[in-house]
Amino acid sequence: MSGTDMSVVTEVPDPVRMPPERPSWRTRLRGPAVFAAVAVLALVVAPLLLEPFRLGLLAKYLVYAIVALGIALAWGQGGMLVLGQGVFFGLGGYAMGMYLKLTEAQGGLPDFMVWSGVETLPALWTPFANPFFALAMVVVGPVALALVLGTLVFRQRVRGAYFAILTQALAAAFVILLIGQQGLTGGTNGLTNFFELFGQDLALDSTQRGLYLAVVVVLGLLYLGTRQLVNSRFGRLLVAVRDGEDRVRFLGYDPATVKTVTFAISAGMAGLAGAFFVPVVGIISPALLGVVPSLELVVAVAVGGRYALAGAVLGAVVMGYAKTIFSEQFAGGWLYLQGALFILVMTLAPKGLLGLLRRRKEVAR
């Protein structure tokens, strides 16, 4: 295992190319221009053109894009294949869900607890009545879990496939736990029947439009922040850890710290996404965050292009739409398509859609 990971560091040298010219203002402005165009599309055009139902779907895909961004950071840049992001997504989602349930219960018990015969509010729930605590836990919970797990695992140099398997096992265990603790979590049904968020009626189109806009803004900010991180020294260090963890030690850095921090950031993003998911979609349940949904997001990132942050966002939206369309038309077909698409992407276009787009451009030039 370990031997193979390192060997990628030194590839066969390409023939030395001409020194890179200074990028012209045109190329330097292309990134910001595309970003601005996408922002206008998302903030102005989409809310005008899309009917509320479709806008809600788009909001859902963009929520997933937040998770995908974190996966692209951890996996594409840091080489950590995270197969259990659903856990962090769930922690964020349940924190939000618990807060919403408690505000609606107005001091009483949430509906599902009454149905399953719980008589007093469990101690785990009580602090979530406080919006500040609940909102903090949306990020703090996932980050704390990722820090603990990352420290334990990365310090012992458990990595690569081992780490991937552990995250997957965590997702499997988490789902079983949620289902089993019926009275605490709502079991298989999860938490649902939300009516208002901060005094706003969730059923109103205007509330949903506001939520959509909030998701777009948060995603945009996170994208910019992650981009900044990737381009910083830390980002370079992260790539170095990905390509040669053991060599990095001899540069005086502890790769375990770099990986743990990155893992925690991606977990925090997943938690935040989970919190948005709850009011946008109206439910959080185990089926939304197990092994399969976690993997589906990794698939989306791979399809979009794992080495580019924009690819991850693109992948999440494209795969989200594809899933909706195909499951509407022919239910079973979606699984064939998803599986086939994935096999194709892995074998033919490991850099994903964005990689294909960029290559076409290079060929054209």
Partner 1 sequence: MSALLSVRGLSVVFDGFTAIDGVDLTVEQGELRFLIGPNGAGKTTLIDVITGLTRPAAGTVRFGEQDLVGRREHEIVRLGVGRTFQTSVVFGELTVAENLDLAASFRRPLWSLARRRRGISEAVAEALATTGLAELAERPARVLSHGQRQWLEIGMLLAQRPRLLLLDEPVAGMSLEERSRTGELLTEIARDHTVIVVEHDMDFLRRYASQVTVLHEGRVLTEGSVAEIRADPRVQEVYLGRARREAKDVVG
Partner 2 sequence: MEAIVNQLPIGLSIGAVLLLIALGLTFTFGQMGVINMAHGEFIMAGAYTAYLLQGWAGGQAVLVALPVAFAVAGLMGLILERTAIRHFYGRPLDTLLLTWGVSLVLQQLARDLFGAPNVQVQAPGWLQGGIGIMPYNRMFILALAIGSVVAIWAYMNRSGQGRRMQAVMQNRRLAATSGIDTGRVDMRTFFIGSGLAGVAGVALTLIGPVGPALGTYYIVDAFLVVVAGGLGQLRGAVIAAAALGLLNSYAEFWSDASLAKVIVFGVIVAFLQFRPQGLFVVRSRALT
In the complex, the residues that contact partner 1 under the rule CB under 8 A are: 6, 9-11, 13-17, 19-20, 228-229, 231-234, 236-237, 239-240, 243-244, 247-254, 257-258, 261
Residue 30 backbone zone (phi > 0: left; psi -120 to 50: alpha; other: beta) = alpha
Calpha distance 144→163 (Å, rounded): 18
Closest separation between CB of residue 242 and partner 1, Å?
8
Q: Where are the alpha helices (DSSP H) in 181-290?
A: 182-185, 205-231, 233-249, 255-281
Closest separation between CB of residue 249 and partner 2, Å?
11
Closest separation between CB of residue 247 and partner 1, Å?
4
Which of partner 2, partner 1, none is residue 335 near (CB under 5 to 8 Å by kind)?
partner 2
Closest separation between CB of residue 260 and partner 1, Å?
11
Distances (CA, A) of 180 to 141, 189, 278, 332: 20, 11, 21, 28
Calpha distance 279→204 (Å, rounded): 12
Which of partner 2, partner 1, none is residue 332 near (CB under 5 to 8 Å by kind)?
partner 2
Closest separation between CB of residue 39 and partner 1, Å?
22
Which of partner 1, partner 2, none is residue 340 near (CB under 5 to 8 Å by kind)?
partner 2
Contact in structure between 347 and 306 (CB atoms under 8 Å):
no
Q: Which is nearer to partner 2, 54 or 157 (CB)?
A: 157
Q: Which is nearer to partner 2, 151 or 207 (CB)?
A: 151
Residues 6+ apart with CB under 8 A from 186: 112, 192, 285
Provide the CA 341 distance to its chain's centre, in angstroms. Answer: 20
332 burial via Cβ count (<10 Å: 0-12, 13-18, 19+): exposed
Q: Which is nearer to partner 1, 116 or 231 (CB)?
A: 231
- By the criterion CB under 8 A, which residues form the site for partner 2? 1-7, 81, 149, 152-153, 156-158, 160-162, 164-166, 168-170, 172-174, 176-181, 246, 291, 295, 298-299, 302, 332, 335-336, 338-343, 346-347, 350
Provide the CA 308 distance to its chain's centre, in angstroms. Answer: 14
Q: Which is nearer to partner 2, 60 or 306 (CB)?
A: 306
Calpha distance 305→353 (Å, rounded): 6
Which of partner 2, partner 1, none is residue 181 near (CB under 5 to 8 Å by kind)?
partner 2
